[in-house]
Structure 1
Amino acid sequence: MWVQIAILVASYILQRALAPKPKQPKATAFADIDFPLCKEGEEITAVFGQKWTKSWMVLTVGNYRTKPIRVKGSKK
């Protein structure tokens, strides 16, 4: 019985050691995001509330972060 447990532990260690390591994903750049922007000379309307429109656009994009958010824990 101890031999079987030793083989099981050895095979687990070999499996973890020989497994391929996943690569870290590349951070998204601002140019990679496709925003629908308005064309030059196109009428820009401001809608307050909810309304259905034929087309929509993004006038501004704010608070774009390039550094990861790291939280050490909750503070009281």
Structure 2
Amino acid sequence: MYKIAKALDVDISWLMGNDVPSESQGNEIMSSYELANITNKVKNDIQAQELLKIYYDSLNDDNKQRILDLARALGSN
């Protein structure tokens, strides 16, 4: 279901028949599938664990957004 929703760019809840807008909400909230996938990757990646330890609690919201923007830009290459 997740892959179908992603391919069609619609909300997975809409595909399942829930009364929600059909439009995908973008990257505002991660699906359970995406969160589980990232969690599994982080469990096996020492560098990712270190980044989380260093930055998660110490950054303000503006700097968190800057890091996210940078990570997205680096990931698109």
> Counting helix residues as a fraction of each chain, which structure ranks higher?
2
**Does the pair score TM above 0.5?**
no
Answer with 1 or 2: which has the greater Rg: 1
Per the normalisation by structure 1, the TM-score is: 0.18
Calculate the TM-score normalised by the size of structure 2: 0.18
